[in-house]
C-alpha cells in the first residue's frame, strides 16, 4: 500500500489540493487493473481510498476534507468503512446501529440494539484501521435520519477501545 502512495497512485479520485488527481476515470481504471495483479490488495486499497476515503470525500464537508483526506491518501490514517451489518447489506436504509449524541460528554454513543445490527465484512477493522466511517441511524426514535460518522479508534497504537455491553436481565 505504501508503494502506491510513494508512486503517486493512491487516491487518484481525491481533490488535487489533498494530493489526488481529481480523476475518477483513472481511479476506476487502476482499480480494475489491480484485481488482475492481486485481488486481496485491490480490496484493501478499495477499502482505504475507495470506501473509507470516498465516504469522507463524498459525504463530508470542506472541513472534513481539510482535516482527513491527505492523511487518508498517505496512509497516515488507515481506516475502515463500517456500513454492512449482519442483517443489512445492500438495504442501507434498514441499518439498525444507532448514533446518539451525548451533549454532556461531547461524544456520540454508538449502539448495536440487536444482533442483526452487528457490523460485518469491515476490511481494515481487525488490524490496521485507526478510524472508521460508521453508518448509523442518528436518532433511534427518528429512523429517517441516517448519518455517516468518522470515529477515531484509538491514538494510533492498534488497541481496541473498551466497549460496554448491556445485557437485558
Ligand atoms: C470482499 C468484500 C469486502 C467487503 N468490505 C466491506 C467493507 O469494508 N465495509 C462494509 O461495510 N461492507 C463490506 N462488504 C460487504 C458488502 O458491502 C456487502 O456484501 C453488501 O453490502 C451486500 O450485502 P449482503 O452481502 O448482505 O447482500 P444483500 O444485501 O443480502 O443482497 C443480496 C442480493 O439481494 C439484492 N437485494 C438486496 N436488497 C434488495 C432490495 N431491497 N430489492 C431488490 N434486491 C435487493 C442485492 O442486489 C443482491 O443481489 C464487503 C464484501 C465483500 C465481499
Same fold for the pair 2-73 and 79-152 = no
| More confident call, 101 vs 87 | 87
d(CA 154, CA 75): 15
Neighbours of 67 (CB within 10 A): 14
pLDDT of residue 169: 38
Q: Whose CA is nearest to atom 3 of ligand 1?
A: 121
Residue nearest to atom 31 of ligand 1 (CA): 90
- Residue 142, pLDDT above cutoff 60: no
| Residue whose C-alpha cell is 479508534 | 153
84 lines ligand 1 (CB under 6 A): yes
Q: 141: pLDDT confidence band, cut at 50, 70 and 90?
A: low
Give the pLDDT of residue 168. 46
pLDDT in tens, 108-130: 888 899 999 999 998 888 788 89
Q: Calculate mean pLDDT across residues 65-79.
A: 95
pLDDT of residue 72: 96
The answer to whether the CB of 43 is under 6 A from ligand 1 is yes
Q: What is the pLDDT of residue 159?
A: 62
Assess if CATH 1.10.540.10 describes domain 2-73: yes
Higher pLDDT, residue 146 or 8: 8
- From atom 7 of ligand 1, which residue's Cα is the shortest distance away? 122
pLDDT tier at 155, thresholds 50, 70, 90: very low
Question: With 80 as the cut, is the pLDDT of residue 146 above it?
Answer: no
Of the residues 83, 89, 131, which should be mutated to test ligand 1's pocket, given the most ligand atoms within 8 Å of the CB?
89
Q: Given ligand 1 and candidates 90, 94, 135, 148, which is best to mutate, with the most ligand atoms within 8 Å of its CB? A: 90
Provide the pairing of β-strand 79-82 with 146-152.
unpaired
Atom in ligand 1 nearest the alpha carbon of residue 125: 8
User: Strand locations in 112-160, DSSP E?
Assistant: 131-137, 146-152
Domain ranges of the chain: 2-73, 79-152
Provide the whole-model pTM.
0.86
Helices (H), the chain: 2-6, 24-37, 39-45, 53-59, 62-64, 70-73
79-152: CATH topology = Butyryl-CoA Dehydrogenase, subunit A; domain 2 (2.40.110)
Q: What is the mean pLDDT of residues 22-31?
A: 93
Amino acid at each position: 500500500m505504501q508503494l502506491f502512495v510513494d508512486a503517486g497512485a493512491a487516491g487518484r479520485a481525491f481533490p488535487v489540493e489533498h494530493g489526488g488527481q481529481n480523476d475518477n476515470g483513472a481511479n476506476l481504471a487502476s482499480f480494475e487493473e489491480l484485481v488482475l495483479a492481486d485481488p486481496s490488495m485491490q480490496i484493501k486499497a478499495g477499502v482505504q481510498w475507495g470506501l473509507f476515503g470516498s465516504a469522507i470525500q463524498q459525504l463530508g464537508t470542506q472541513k472534513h476534507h481539510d482535516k482527513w483526506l491527505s492523511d487518508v491518501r498517505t496512509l497516515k490514517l488507515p481506516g475502515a468503512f463500517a456500513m454492512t451489518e449482519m442483517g443489512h447489506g445492500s438495504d442501507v436504509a434498514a441499518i439498525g446501529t444507532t448514533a446518539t449524541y451525548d451533549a454532556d460528554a461531547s461524544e456520540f454513543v454508538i449502539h448495536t440494539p440487536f444482533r442483526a445490527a452487528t457490523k460485518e465484512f469491515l476490511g481494515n477493522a481487525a488490524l490496521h484501521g485507526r478510524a472508521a466511517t460508521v453508518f448509523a441511524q442518528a436518532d433511534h426514535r427518528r429512523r429517517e435520519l441516517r448519518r455517516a460518522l468518522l470515529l477515531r479508534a484509538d491514538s494510533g497504537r492498534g488497541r481496541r477501545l473498551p466497549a460496554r455491553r448491556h445485557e437485558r436481565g
